């Protein structure tokens, strides 16, 4: 049975270990990107070879099969704009669709344009650790797989666009992995999470009764 968020707040079975303001989320992420846990180590291990491959492709495009510099720069600038218009909404729509598939009703997507921060939330819908992990990983897996296929099979300008998209999306997924790292740090507790849209806060709770000390 799905736990109601009010049970987390009012029951002595649960203890709040963290709350994060959505306005401060970017700062929270910046404090949790060191490779000190398994998800962040995986993030860097996956990204470093991919970034090396991206730079190799850029080297090939620029020096081996060169495009005109002005033309190449124009393609890259257009790719960045297209990334904001296409890939970021797709990323958040995958998060939102995952919430809906899990049964959430009040799902919304938000943007802080001054920070280039985008996120999807499900108002007062409680997730356990496994659900949170699946929801966080899906956009990373789906979009990066599609873009990698694009780099392999596309040619010319389309390949440049796919390379730029992949570079931006890889780095943009760091927030999801930082949150996964926090979940992993408390994996020996039953960790639960929900968002409050009106207050602009995300809450993390653990179920009391496990002898292992949770990380703050």
E-assigned strand segments in the chain: 14-21, 107-112, 117-122, 127-128, 191-196, 201-207
pLDDT tens for 34-85 read 888 899 998 998 888 777 877 787 777 777 766 677 777 888 899 999 999 9
What are the strands, taking DSSP E only, across 8-68?
Answer: 14-21
Containing 90, the helix (H) or strand (E) segment is helix 88-102
Q: How far is CA 22 from CA 44, 54, 198, 211, in A?
A: 25, 32, 11, 31
Domain spans in the chain, listed from the N-terminal domain onward: 5-32+50-207
Distances in whole angstroms, Cα of residue 161 to Cα of each of 168, 189, 201? 11, 43, 36
Contact indicator for 214, 17 with CB cutoff of 8 Å:
yes
Query: Is residue 141 within 8 Å of residue 3, measured between CB atoms?
Result: no
> Cα separation of 93 and 104, whole Å?
14
Cβ-based burial of 24 (10 A; exposed 0-12, middle 13-18, buried ≥19): exposed
- Whole-number Å distance between alpha carbons of 58 and 104: 42
pTM of the model: 0.85
In eight-state DSSP terms, residue 115 is T
SS3 call for 121: strand
Write out the chain's pLDDT in tens, 216 residues.
788 999 998 888 889 999 999 999 999 999 998 888 899 998 998 888 777 877 787 777 777 766 677 777 888 899 999 999 999 999 999 999 999 999 999 999 999 998 889 999 999 999 998 999 999 999 999 999 999 999 889 887 888 899 889 989 998 999 999 999 999 887 778 899 999 999 999 999 998 865 344 444
Q: How many CA atoms lie within 13 A of 117 on its CB side?
A: 15
Match 């203890």 to its residue by tokens. 15
Residue 7 structure tokens: 């049970």
Q: Tell me how far apart the alpha carbons of residues 78 and 72 are, in angstroms, rounded to a whole number.
A: 10
């Amino acid at each position: 049975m799905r736990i109601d968020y009010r049970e987390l707040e009012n029951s002595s079975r649960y203890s709040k270990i963290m709350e994060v303001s959505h306005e401060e989320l970017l700062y929270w992420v910046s404090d949790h990107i060191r490779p000190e846990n398994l998800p962040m180590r995986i993030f860097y291990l996956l990204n470093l070879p991919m970034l090396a491959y991206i730079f190799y492709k850029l080297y090939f495009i620029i020096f081996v099969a060169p495009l005109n510099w002005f033309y190449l720069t124009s393609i890259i600038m257009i790719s960045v704009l297209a990334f904001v218009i296409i890939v970021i909404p797709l990323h958040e729509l995958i998060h939102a669709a995952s919430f809906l598939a899990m049964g959430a009703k009040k799902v919304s997507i938000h943007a802080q344009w001054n920070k280039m921060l985008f996120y999807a939330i499900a108002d007062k819908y409680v997730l356990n650790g496994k659900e949170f992990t699946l929801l966080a990983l899906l956009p990373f897996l789906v979009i990066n797989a599609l873009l990698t296929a694009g780099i392999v099979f596309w040619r010319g300008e389309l390949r440049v666009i796919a390379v730029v998209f992949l570079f931006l999306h890889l780095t943009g997924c760091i927030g999801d992995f930082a949150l996964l790292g926090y979940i992993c740090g408390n994996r020996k507790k039953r960790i639960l999470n929900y968002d409050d849209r009106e207050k602009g806060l995300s809450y993390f709770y653990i179920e009391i009764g496990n002898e292992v000390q949770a990380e703050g």
